[in-house]
Amino acid sequence: MAVEHTFDRRVSNNLTEKRNIGEATAELISDGSTVLIFIGSTLPSVARELCHRKDLTVITNNLRVVMTLSDEMTNRIILPVGKLRLPVCDILAEEGLVFLNCYRAKFCVFDSAGVAEDGSLLEFPAAEARVRERIIAKSLRLILVVDHSKFGCLTPAVSENIGDFETVILDRLPNQNFALIVERLYYELTLTDDLSPGGLSTLAPTKNRTKLSGEKMSENTKPVRCK
For the stretch 77-105, pLDDT in tens is: 998 877 777 777 777 766 666 777 788 89
Note whether residue 190 is domain-resident.
yes
Note whether residue 222 is domain-resident.
no
Note whether residue 35 is domain-resident.
yes
For the stretch 121-160, pLDDT in tens is: 988 777 777 777 777 777 889 999 999 989 998 887 888 8
Contacts with 126 (C-beta within 8 Å, 6 or more apart), sequence order: 156, 157
pLDDT of residue 205: 39
- pLDDT (mean) for 99-122: 88
pLDDT of residue 23: 95
217 pLDDT tier (thresholds 50, 70, 90) = very low
Domains held by the chain: number: 1
Contacts with 12 (C-beta within 8 Å, 6 or more apart), sequence order: none
pTM of the predicted model as reported, rounded to 2 decimal places: 0.77
Q: Residue 146 belongs to what domain range?
A: 7-214
Note whether residue 159 is domain-resident.
yes
Note whether residue 52 is domain-resident.
yes
8 pLDDT tier (thresholds 50, 70, 90) = low
Give the Cβ contact number of residue 227 at 10 Å.
Answer: 23
| pLDDT of residue 210 exceeding 80 | no
Note whether residue 115 is domain-resident.
yes
Of the two residues 113 and 11, the one the predictor is more confident about is 113
Helix/strand/coil percentages in the chain, nearest 5: 35, 25, 40
SS3 label, residue 142: strand
| pLDDT of residue 206 exceeding 90 | no
CATH number, domain of 120, equals 3.40.50.1360
pLDDT of residue 213: 32
For the stretch 20-60, pLDDT in tens is: 999 999 999 999 999 999 877 899 899 999 999 999 999 98
